[in-house]
Amino acid sequence: MAFRSGHVDGAEDLTGPEPEHPTGAFTIGVGGVVVEGGRVLLVKLTYGHKGWILPGGYVKSTETIGKAITREVHEETGLDVEPTELVSVRSWANEGKCDIYVAFLVKVLGGELRPDREEVSELRYFTLAEMEEWKDVRKLNTWIARRVLQGGPRLALSDYRPNPELLYELWF
Q: What CATH number has the domain bearing residue 95? A: 3.90.79.10
161: pLDDT strictly greater than 60: yes
Whether 170 maps to a domain, the answer reads no
pLDDT at 1: 28
Please give the pLDDT value at position 83.
97
Q: What are the backbone angles phi and psi of residue 78, rounded to the nearest 5°? A: 85, -5
Task: Tell me, rounded to whole angstroms, the distance of Cα 37 from its chain centroid.
Answer: 22
Phi, psi of 59 (to 5 degrees): -85, 130
| CA neighbor of 121 nearest in space, from 68, 56, 42 | 42
Whole-number Å distance between alpha carbons of 87 and 21: 24
Confidence of residue 154 (pLDDT cuts 50, 70, 90): confident
- Position 7 scores a pLDDT of 32
More confident residue, 33 or 19: 33
Does residue 103 belong to any structural domain of this protein?
A: yes
- pLDDT of 11 over the 90 cut: no
Give the pLDDT mean for 50-72: 95
Residue 38, amino acid = G
**pLDDT score for 66:** 95
What is the predicted pLDDT for the residue at 6? 35
Mean pLDDT, residues 107-135 taken together:
96
Question: Is a pLDDT exceeding 50 seen at residue 115?
Answer: yes
Cβ(42)–Cβ(36) under 8 Å? no
Evaluate whether residue 5 is within a structural domain.
Answer: no
Whether residue 12 is contained in a domain is answered as no
Rounded Cα distance, 54 and 138, in Å: 9
Q: Indicate the number of domains in the chain.
A: 1
Segments forming the whole domain that contains residue 50? 24-153
What does each C-alpha distance from 37 to 16, 96, 134 come to in angstroms? 44, 42, 20
Q: Residue 74: inside a domain, yes or no?
A: yes
Q: Is 10 within a domain?
A: no
Q: Establish if 64 belongs to a structural domain.
A: yes
- Please report whether residue 15 resides in a domain: no
Give the pLDDT band (50/70/90) at residue 121. very high
Task: Report the pLDDT averaged over residues 41-60.
Answer: 94
Q: What is the mean pLDDT of residues 137-164?
A: 89
Q: Is the pLDDT of residue 143 over 70?
A: yes
